[in-house]
Chain A
């Protein structure tokens, strides 16, 4: 077994040379202490159970015991006395070791919390650091955190505008640390209103050894006891994290490409009440050709990041339980489904969004596109028909054996797209279910089509989807000065409020191009109460061009409650379902008073975003207001900026925040 990186001291890149600005004298003292500590650590390591190849893959094999944890903290603290943390490791199914390393800021985390993690007693006793070592005074507030899955932004200026001089002498050390690829990480941000560290990154948890995962989504909402499931698009890995001891995170499992042979490119997750999860794998089988699923049936796919994708059932620790085909055994021909390379049986099955109603034994996925074939130049895009117009419903009455139940092709709307993939049904990125027992419907939105669809009954054998809102309406209200054309508006996150009254939608906007002035970016909030109240007798249907501009004419059509301008290109969001009770503990609530959103999509596509994460308050009038108190700790600007030089894990520079969750420690929620 090969171990990437070195010990539990650090991630792969920082070794013991974590950047430090400590004065020379301090550095000398620390070197002496380091030597002693390394000896001690070595002794402790001998006593720690070594990772064995025959250990059960996927089970944690080296979560540092108290002694190791203390020494980890010491070592990390030697070069920056404000940073402590532990590393957790698991053995992957490929025999490699994967890890997660915490970098907690002791100047921001209360002493009592550090003590709870087994770290609080160590640092003060060493007398090494500055006055802030040893944690902050406990203000008595339990903490709620925003956990953000972020990718290192390895910006390579390939334009060559700032070319480095050719070295006169070629040595093995041509690269400086600043040139190395940084680790991807989870940023743990204090999201507790009124806390002294509100908006500050109290911990960054780096993953290793894999870099350039292209961090993507986690589950949509967190509930007490849930692990976090987080996917890497490019590495085809799902990381499963234990949140019970936040602000610290622990690695429970890594699900590798070889654990999901019939699918690739994990997109999003839905965690069920038992803590297990479903994941959408957007891309085709790892290897082109036939793949046999858990149900014994076989489909032929055109390979990694191609088609057809699949639905994967993962246990609570992230081990694969079941791989279910997302495409039926016959070709999907109702609308054009292109695959490149071609498949004998065409399919639109590239599941992206996923949500479920366990009480209805139904899960919904929305198909976005065949991942690898969206080329970077829209003018030369190989086919508009790679953007999918389909939504799938699944029977999850036997949760560990999901079955595809229906494939629905979203109907075209009255608007004529400037290009074929801006027709209303194209690129069904996200779906969201209703939540209350009396409601059986779900929504879907199309990133390129610029439309929102609704099916009043997802339990039906053939759910009936209809367009209920066109983003042209919202564009017009958001910016009356521009042509409101809704196609290509790049809508992303779609989420019903937990009380089923509202629908939230993040719209990144369309970039200006030529004579096209583009479209605005905003967070949209729609009132869906009348629509849901209609039950299966829904009348709303956007079927005239006037309705695309003015909103649906039918009385039950969604109405705009608010549009929050969101410069920077919002793509993803999350509801804050945690509320601090009078008892001082957090409780889950359906009365959501806050949401978060992030401005980042996938950089190489050109739809990047400004890498900020913002919090938005929901007023009693249901209006949205950006929280001015959620500020960047360096710039003081509203929203926190991931384009910063320094992180707790080092000076790795800008990062790309893709998704986020509101989470709290187990002990802090009832």
Chain B
């Protein structure tokens, strides 16, 4: 074959390939609805990639209304992306990455940010949220399906398709301050092979949570408390819990005071907000110089939904009333399952309870538990590979210290 013949053959070959791609993309586009056909070619390619680039999908299917949990390995990094509630409209995205990217800029190393969006025009930085782990962002997804993009460096875009269906629901609770708890609960339900709850925990005070709050207040009253400082937020659950505490305190002749007030002689802090507000409010105190922190004789007591390492870490030791023990077999299965499949996600009380509900395990009688870090020695370098943890509460423990009657 002559040189010119070879060049011609090469040009023809390339044309065939490109033509094939265009045909394939067109066929894909033809299979989409009319609105989709207005998408750009890039978007189509991304959608295609989002389905075919080796994304792992929890449960094997993308189902509207079921949190979409997907995983993709790119270069040497694995991204796990959770999108919930997987409905049209604003959705909360959780990103877990296996790698902290370091980019040297002179003498400092910065982490490469993770951006999330549906296109180049709406990429936002995924941020940590107080009280929980992972990185979070909100994306707006269309009906039918949408592609969530997660950036990896300047030029790489990892696509994850999410089937959203056509049922419009109010997703405000999912993308608000209590969204991470909602996502954790939904994911745990899916992981337990159960049905995902349609609502979010912070939308109402459940009977069992009310029992726990009641138990806390009764315990404090029995121990001779004179005033309770109450932290709460504006969620329906928190407001209902606050009202409950107020009523019980009034019955017992115990004052309700603001967390900002100087504590009296027998004072305890009861925290009723969600993960984010609780962690933020507690950290605001614990980060002040020690001598400036209030002295609360009877410590800090958390609502049961606040058993999250991110919250407990925001204060030095806390009490909770729980109807499970982290060392129960079910709780261990849950934490080990998370550890196996989602090592970046620490177990939390609400997520476990969702799991337990699906599995049908019975609750324990309500008991008092002390949650605290218990490391005993400062870390030193070189031993991370040998690290072991209390599976449920790394670096700490949640220990039963008594029973209580919540009736």
Contacts and interface: CB of A to CB of B under 8 A. Distances in A.
Interface stretch (A31-39, A369-377, A533-541, A579-587): A369-377
B331 to A, nearest CB: 10
A43 interface: no
A239 to B, nearest CB: 15
B226 to A, nearest CB: 11
B38 to A, nearest CB: 33
A160 B397 CA distance: 23
Contact of B394 (A159, A513, A604): A604
B289 to A, nearest CB: 10
A347 B403 CA distance: 29
A257 B336 contact: no
Interface in A333-375: 338, 340-344, 368-369, 371-375
Contacts of A300: 297
Interface string A150-178: 00011111111101111111111011000
B388 to A, nearest CB: 4
B58 A166 contact: yes
Contact of A212 (B316, B341, B390): B390
For A168, A180, A606, the residue with the greatest tally of chain B CB atoms inside 10 Å of its CB is A606
Contacts of A211: 327, 332
Contact of B383 (A286, A373, A447, A511): A511
A4 B266 CA distance: 39
Contact of B381 (A157, A303, A606): A606
Contacts of B400: 94, 257
Interface in B319-340: 319, 327, 329, 332-333, 336-337, 339-340
Interface in B192-242: 192-193, 219, 223-225
Contacts of A649: none
B322 to A, nearest CB: 14
B116 interface: no
Interface stretch (A62-70, A141-149, A228-236, A557-565): A228-236
B389 A264 contact: no
A603 B386 contact: yes
A341 B59 contact: no
B340 A159 contact: no
Contact of B388 (A155, A166, A372, A382): A155
Nearest to B318: A303
A381 interface: yes
A399 B5 CA distance: 105
A511 B332 CA distance: 33
A604 B387 contact: yes
Given A376-B375, A376-B379, A258 B59 contact: no
B378 A235 contact: no
For B190, B297, B377, B400, the residue with the greatest tally of chain A CB atoms inside 10 Å of its CB is B377
A39 to B, nearest CB: 27
A232 to B, nearest CB: 10
B60 A602 contact: no
Interface stretch (B85-93, B121-129, B253-261, B365-373): B365-373
Interface stretch (A21-29, A123-131, A287-295): A287-295
B166 interface: no
Contacts of A604: 375, 387-390, 394-395
Nearest to B344: A160
Contact of A94 (B192, B391, B403): B403
Contacts of B302: none
Contact of B299 (A157, A181, A235, A302): A302
Contacts of B389: 154, 156, 158, 603-604
B27 interface: no
B291 interface: yes
A354 B6 CA distance: 89
Contact of B380 (A12, A171, A368, A606): A606
A12 B69 CA distance: 33
A304 interface: yes
A605 B337 contact: no
A164 B380 CA distance: 29
A9 B395 CA distance: 33
Contact of B387 (A341, A374, A603): A603
A117 interface: no
A607 B383 contact: yes
Contact of A164 (B297, B341, B344, B388): B341
A473 B268 CA distance: 49
A601 interface: yes
Given A168-B59, A286-B402, A606-B383, A163 B378 contact: no
A488 B286 CA distance: 26
A605 B399 contact: no
A510 interface: yes
Interface string B157-173: 00000000000000000
B359 to A, nearest CB: 7
Contacts of B286: 340
Contact of A608 (B343, B376, B387): B387
A5 to B, nearest CB: 9
A633 to B, nearest CB: 22
Contacts of A172: 192-193, 359
Given A287-B223, A287-B319, A372 B396 contact: yes
A113 interface: no
A265 interface: yes
Interface in A207-224: 209-212, 214
B375 A374 contact: yes
B298 interface: yes
A258 B316 contact: no
A421 B332 CA distance: 37
A601 B383 CA distance: 12
Interface string B341-373: 101100000000000000100000000101011
20 contacts: A156-B389, A160-B98, A180-B336, A181-B336, A181-B391, A212-B327, A235-B327, A287-B402, A302-B316, A305-B317, A306-B372, A341-B317, A374-B376, A374-B378, A378-B380, A603-B388, A604-B375, A606-B379, A606-B384, A607-B377
4 closest pairs, A vs B, by CB?
Answer: A288-B299, A606-B379, A304-B370, A605-B377
